[in-house]
Amino acid sequence: MILDSLTRRVLAALRIVDGVTGQPILSPLSVRGAGTVWVRNRRGLHVLMEMPGLERHQDVLSNPPAAPPVGSLSAVVEVRDMGATYLPRRHTLRLPRDPDPVRAGHGESVFQPIESRMYLSASAPISSAWAVIRATVVREEDGRGLGGALIRVLRTSDGQVLARGLSDPRGEALVAVSGIPVTTWEASSGPVIGTEVDVRVEVVVDPDAGDMPDPDALEANRGILPNGQRTMKLASGRTEACRVTVAIP
């Protein structure tokens, strides 16, 4: 009997999670990128096995090559839900990941999976405990729906981001806010106990990104991209509708 030993270096791993709960998504997902090969392992991580430009890294278990330098390459991957619960998204990976075991606890380490958050589609099931926003994002110029918009919900009192979501190609979005208590202590004058939370709904759009955006890129560039906002009140177990217009230069 001849035994063959096959060793392969993992280039990166994606942990794909629910954008509301932060829990891993166990339903079937598709991860694809030009020239890349992905495998889903038993832990539910999507593992990058092959990528153009990293061929030397793939077959060397110890002493990985110094070139290309850590983080010098980028790979754009598309993540899709094979069902209808989550909207598709893009994710830009900086590769190669840091292979040094001494820095295994750092966020750029190959030993740390990259978190990719998926956001609910407008038809996704919701929890009765959530505060829900049914948002419609439209162009200011003609009222046409804007797909691929990032929606952020911020608490007015302290600016904390409570939730995020994406709009579908029609401009429709479901943004679920978890963790809003049934009653809250009011800091302002008036009733001591309140049932609503004042929030600001912010929308940012990249007109060149199409209907499958990279939410992380939208977040990072929200100060320079077209945007819009409005204020509203949320309460646990209640659904609110809002329309946000965005001027596209």
Answer yes or no: CATH 2.60.40 is held by domain 12-118: yes
Q: Got the DSSP string for the chain?
A: --PPP------EEEEEEETTT-PBP-S-EEEEETT-EEEE-TTS-EEEEE-TT-HHHHT-SSS--S-SPTT-EEEEEEEEESSSSB--EEEEEEESPB--GGGTTSTTBTTSPEEEEE-B-TT----TTSEEEEEEEEETTT--B--S-EEEEEETTT--EEEEEE--TTSEEEEEE----SSEE--SSS-SEES-EEEEEEEE--TTSTTS--HHHHHHTTTTS-EEEEEEEE-TT-EEEEEEEE---
**226: its two tokens:** 């077209």
Q: What global pTM score does this model have?
A: 0.87
What confidence tens digit (pLDDT) does each residue in 26-63 have? 999 999 999 999 999 999 999 999 999 888 776 666 67
Return the pLDDT at 4.
47
Q: Could you give the CA distance from residue 153 to residue 139 in angstroms, rounded to a whole number? A: 20
**Spatial CA neighbour of 176 closest among 136, 120, 232:** 120
Return the pLDDT at 2.
54
Spans of all domains in the chain: 12-118, 131-246
**Spatial CA neighbour of 54 closest among 30, 70, 77:** 70
Q: Could you give the CA distance from residue 226 to residue 205 in angstroms, rounded to a whole number? A: 6
The domain 131-246 is classified under which CATH number: 2.40.50.140, 3.40.50.11810, 2.60.40.1120, 3.30.565.10? 2.60.40.1120
Return the pLDDT at 135.
97
What confidence tens digit (pLDDT) does each residue in 175-187 have? 999 988 765 555 5
Q: Could you give the CA distance from residue 168 to residue 180 in angstroms, rounded to a whole number? A: 25
Return the pLDDT at 101.
85
Digit-by-digit pLDDT tens for the chain (249 residues) are 554 445 567 889 999 999 999 999 999 999 999 999 999 999 999 999 999 988 877 666 667 777 888 989 999 999 999 999 999 999 999 999 988 888 988 889 989 999 999 999 999 999 999 999 999 999 999 999 999 999 999 999 999 999 999 999 999 999 999 988 765 555 555 554 557 899 999 999 999 988 789 999 999 999 999 999 999 999 999 999 999 999 998
Return the pLDDT at 99.
85
**Adjacent-strand bridge partners of 54:** none
